[in-house]
Amino acid sequence: MRNTKRRRRGRAFAVLLTVTLVAAGLLVGGGIWVASYLRGALAPGLSVGCTATVGGTPYTLAVDQTGYAALISGISIQRGMPARAASIALATALQESKLRNIDYGDLDSVGLFQQRPSQDWGTVAQIMDPVYSTNAFYSALDKVPGYVDMPLNDAAQIVQRSAFPHAYAQHESLSRAFASALTGQSPGALSCTLPPATAAGSPAAVEAALKQALGTLPVATMPGQSATTLEVAASGNMGWAVAHWAVANASQLGLTHVSYGGLAWDRNTNDAGTNVGWKGAGNAGGNVVITMAAAGS
């Protein structure tokens, strides 16, 4: 009887061991398959971001950072300030907030430039408005004698009075490249790699954002069957400032195509995961042509 019980226990143990091993194998195999599937599903197909290429050297920012860079640079143009002012402002915002409109910081600092209500920069609500905070920075910079000719770091430090007085210089090359592109000094220099548009663009929203950044410009809209086209009358450096502003804001405004000066940027033309940038186009007219995603995109 004891031998029979032992044999039964042995067989039960063997069955349990076999089931356990099979289950473990299925889990491991399934885990490997799931991991492999997820790697394939989540592998980034596009190197999303924006690049300013000036003097043959590319400099890159995230899409949201580039949108703020375009606003800061555009406001410098509105105010009639030189591109150097935009470089100083961008370097300052990169150091202070990583060029993002954050609602926290050292002591009571907030916003793009980490300005402090207690230091008479304005209320928290005002400083958190990127247009207000940018104008506040430029108003202070405008009062710095000879800021155009002094080292970028020194000009920024006079405005900011930072506890880290030499920190701004590290951002100078990147800031100069983006300022050069976004103020129209470097034609066809800014390109963004973006996923396909998922919502239709709004001409009213584009016009409002453009006016906020670059001021009032002559604009005409022409609804089409598959898309809406907006034309902005601008020439020379201003034309390129508008064109690059549109590319910089293509993600949030649902823009798919921008052309100016015989060149065009197409959101959906990529190579090896990166947008191909500005290429030759038939339209060499004096207007910047901005195309928005159509309804149902």
pLDDT tens, position by position, 262-292: 999 999 999 999 999 999 986 666 899 999 9
Distance of CA 13 to the CA centre of its chain: 62
**How does pLDDT run across 75-128, given as a tens digit for each residue?**
999 999 999 999 999 999 999 999 999 999 999 999 999 999 999 999 999 999
Give the closest residue to 221 by CA, choosing from 282, 290, 267: 290
* Average pLDDT of the segment spanning 224-229: 76
Question: Confidence class of residue 221 from pLDDT cuts 50, 70 and 90?
Answer: confident
Percent of the chain at pLDDT > 90 equals: 79
Model pTM score: 0.84
The sign one gets for the Cα dihedral 205, 207, 212, 213 is positive
| CA–CA distance, 201 with 256 (Å, rounded to integer) | 9
Question: Confidence class of residue 163 from pLDDT cuts 50, 70 and 90?
Answer: very high
Give yes or no for residue 35 having a pLDDT over 50.
no
Helix, strand, coil shares of the chain, percent, nearest 5, are 50, 15, 35
| CA–CA distance, 217 with 240 (Å, rounded to integer) | 13
Residue 241 and residue 73 in contact, taking contact as beta carbons nearer than 8 Å: yes
Q: Bridge-partner residues for 275, per DSSP? A: 270
Q: In this structure, what are the phi and psi dihedrals at residue 205, rounded to the nearest 5 degrees?
A: -65, -40
Q: 3-class SS at 198?
A: coil
Give the closest residue to 257 by CA, choosing from 249, 247, 245, 271: 247
Crossing angle for the helix pair 152-160 and 130-142, to the nearest 10 degrees: 110
Q: In this structure, what are the phi and psi dihedrals at residue 131, rounded to the nearest 5 degrees?
A: -70, -45
